[in-house]
């Protein structure tokens, strides 16, 4: 009697996926395809990566400009005449619950020294700290009614990146990468950059994949001549030799992965080796800003010392968007530099000078190249600042009411959404929690925040933790 060949049956779902070789991108694809087929009236639309979103998207890419530390909305986009009228006095009695919470530590209100003007056809307000961005306001939807749960930087930055104040969940960029894949197989789908070498609060977990496979985490690019470290072959190593080395490493990793199916990092390592090999051909050209004209570099402020650093990152973002990178996150003021507990005039003046022109240059460049209609640009920090003073000339953290803005990607510009109270302390109209912000970003990309899910520990996990909703005013005005 002949013997049947030995079949090593996978014991777990994870082990099955590893051995089947289908990859987690295929899991995301099959999930989205199945959901699309079950959606009545679903309009078929396929991304360049071959994936089917839940509905027709208005945006293909995202550039998230993260002002780390918490910029002061009441000194930038949300003028409060009443604040200057009551400067030096305590909070009015109408803020009773906040007064009670503050107790004896009550501080007087701090006036804003800004000069305000209305700009564009819509007459959107902006302060003299951002004159360049002010010229782009007809393309921007200013959201004045944002709020969050985290009072500290660690909690606030964590929530703005992952929708939760508790660490360990996938970042927004990871969810987008998981749901839509990359439009360019030779470049990462999720890229992170920062304007200085200071540690961003919470570090790499801000762009981590959490409980999802590690291959969906962000790839950090660095400043300097080699934005992607260790990309090039060592001296004297040919592509053929490097290919053979990678093939050998892949076989070792796959063998180890079969013995340890619970370690998704092995999948990520295999994928990263393969991606790095492919990137050797395309990435050097993608990050070569020398190919840009002097006029373009000047548009971003690269020709000026104060704006050169962030200008290079913004220009590089445009080049990456052109080449199909799905989600790009730039940290400005890395190391909580926007955290102006004292000396807000000097602090914000310097930071606004270094950020204003590069951001405006990015918006103008995307628009003139026809990229803004497909690229969603998001600007904001983890929270805003209080109208009360701290240390006499600074402002404290304020998660109860602050401003963010969006442009491009189907967003209707030249509008102001929501409002804070008369002093800018609390969001009171069309309130948008961080969950709503993330749900709206996903919606513009064609992803339904409830249909996009990942099974973890036997339960479906979703990007906004089953909360939040899309803000339709973003596209309708």
Give the tens place of pLDDT for each residue, 318-348. Answer: 999 999 999 999 999 999 999 999 999 999 9
Question: Tokens in use for 182?
Answer: 């990359």
CB atoms near residue 430 (< 10 Å): 15
Question: Which residues, in sequence order, are CB contacts of 275 under 8 Å at separation 6+?
Answer: 185, 186, 188
Based on the fold, state whether residues 206 and 314 are members of the same structural domain. yes
Give the tens place of pLDDT for each residue, 157-201. Answer: 999 999 999 999 999 999 999 999 888 888 889 999 999 989 999
Is residue 333 included in any domain, yes or no? yes
Is residue 234 included in any domain, yes or no? no
Q: In the predicted model, is pLDDT for residue 233 greater than 70?
A: no
Is residue 7 included in any domain, yes or no? no
- Helices 172-180 and 434-444 pack at an angle, to 10 degrees, of 20
Based on the fold, state whether residues 99 and 203 are members of the same structural domain. yes
Based on the fold, state whether residues 211 and 347 are members of the same structural domain. yes
Based on the fold, state whether residues 210 and 297 are members of the same structural domain. yes
Q: In angstroms, rounded to a whole number, what is the distance separating the alpha carbons of residues 269 and 323?
A: 23
pLDDT for res 56: 94
- Tell me the three state secondary structure of residue 44: coil
Based on the fold, state whether residues 269 and 206 are members of the same structural domain. no
Q: In the predicted model, is pLDDT for residue 276 greater than 70?
A: no
**Full DSSP string of 246-264:** HHHHHHHHHHHHHH-TT-T
Percent pLDDT > 90 in the chain is: 68
CB atoms near residue 244 (< 10 Å): 11
Q: In angstroms, rounded to a whole number, what is the distance separating the alpha carbons of residues 299 and 1?
A: 79
What is the tally of structural domains in the chain?
Answer: 2
Based on the fold, state whether residues 265 and 378 are members of the same structural domain. no
Based on the fold, state whether residues 421 and 351 are members of the same structural domain. yes
Of 280, 313, 343, which closes a domain? 280
Give the tens place of pLDDT for each residue, 397-439. Answer: 999 999 999 999 999 999 999 999 999 999 999 999 999 999 9
CB atoms near residue 319 (< 10 Å): 16
- Tell me the three state secondary structure of residue 194: strand
Is residue 163 included in any domain, yes or no? yes
The conformation of residue 221, written as its DSSP 8-state character, comes to P
Based on the fold, state whether residues 198 and 329 are members of the same structural domain. yes
Give the tens place of pLDDT for each residue, 137-152. Answer: 999 999 999 999 999 9
Across the range 62-91, mean pLDDT stands at 97
Query: Burial level of 44, CB count in 10 A (0-12/13-18/19+)?
Result: exposed
Of 219, 248, 280, which closes a domain? 280
Q: What is the pTM of this model?
A: 0.85
Range of the domain at 199: 56-227+287-476
Is residue 19 included in any domain, yes or no? no
Is residue 269 included in any domain, yes or no? yes
Strand pairing report for 402-407 and 140-147: antiparallel
Based on the fold, state whether residues 192 and 247 are members of the same structural domain. no
Based on the fold, state whether residues 112 and 216 are members of the same structural domain. yes
Based on the fold, state whether residues 144 and 102 are members of the same structural domain. yes
Q: What is the CATH number of the domain that holds 175?
A: 3.40.720.10
Is residue 36 included in any domain, yes or no? no
Based on the fold, state whether residues 256 and 223 are members of the same structural domain. no
pLDDT for res 8: 43
Q: Kindly tell me the sign of the dihedral angle through the C-alpha atoms of 116, 396, 399, 201.
A: positive
Is residue 211 included in any domain, yes or no? yes
């Amino acid at each position: 009697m002949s013997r049947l060949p030995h079949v090593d049956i996978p014991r777990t779902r994870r082990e099955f996926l590893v051995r089947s070789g289908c990859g987690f991108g295929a899991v995301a694809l099959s999930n989205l395809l199945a959901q699309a087929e079950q959606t009545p009236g679903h309009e078929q639309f396929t991304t360049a990566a071959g994936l089917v979103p839940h509905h027709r998207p208005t945006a293909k890419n995202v550039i998230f400009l993260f002002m780390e530390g918490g910029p002061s909305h009441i000194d930038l986009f949300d003028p409060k005449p009443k604040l200057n009228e009551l400067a030096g006095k305590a909070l009015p009695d109408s803020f009773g619950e906040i007064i009670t919470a503050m107790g004896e530590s009550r501080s007087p209100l701090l006036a804003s020294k800004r000069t305000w003007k209305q700009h564009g056809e819509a007459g959107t307000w902006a302060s003299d700290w951002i004159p360049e961005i002010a010229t782009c306001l007809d393309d921007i939807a200013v959201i004045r009614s944002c709020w969050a749960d985290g009072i500290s930087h660690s909690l606030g930055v964590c929530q703005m990146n992952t929708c939760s104040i508790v660490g360990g969940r996938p970042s927004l960029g990871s969810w987008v990468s998981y749901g839509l894949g990359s439009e360019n197989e030779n470049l990462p789908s999720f890229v992170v950059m920062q304007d200085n070498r200071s540690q961003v609060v919470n570090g790499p977990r801000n762009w981590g994949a959490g409980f999802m496979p590690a291959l969906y985490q962000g790839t950090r690019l660095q400043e300097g001549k080699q934005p992607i470290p260790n990309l090039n072959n060592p001296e004297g190593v040919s592509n053929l030799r490097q290919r053979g080395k990678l093939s050998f490493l892949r076989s070792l990793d796959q063998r180890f992965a079969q013995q340890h199916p619970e370690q998704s990092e092995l999948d990520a390592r295999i994928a990263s080796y393969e991606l790095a090999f492919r990137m050797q051909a395309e990435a050097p050209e993608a990050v070569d800003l020398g190919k840009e004209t002097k006029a373009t570099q000047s548009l971003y402020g690269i020709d000026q010392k104060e704006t050169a650093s962030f200008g290079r990152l913004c220009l590089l973002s445009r080049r990456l968007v052109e080449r199909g990178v799905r989600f790009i996150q730039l940290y400005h003021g890395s190391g909580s530099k926007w955290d102006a507990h004292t000396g807000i005039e000097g602090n914000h003046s310097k930071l606004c000078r270094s950020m204003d022109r590069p951001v405006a240059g990015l918006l103008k460049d995307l628009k003139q190249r026809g990229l803004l209609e497909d690229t969603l640009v998001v600007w904001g920090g983890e929270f805003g600042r209080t109208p009360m003073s701290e240390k006499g000339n600074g402002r404290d953290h304020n998660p109860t009411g602050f401003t963010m803005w969006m442009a491009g990607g189907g967003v209707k510009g030249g509008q102001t959404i929501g409002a804070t109270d008369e002093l800018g302390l609390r969001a009171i109209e069309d309130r948008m929690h961080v969950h709503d912000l993330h749900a709206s970003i996903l919606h513009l990309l064609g992803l339904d925040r409830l249909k996009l899910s990942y099974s973890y520990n036997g339960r479906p996990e979703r990007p906004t933790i089953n909360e939040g909703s899309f803000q339709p005013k973003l596209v309708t005005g």
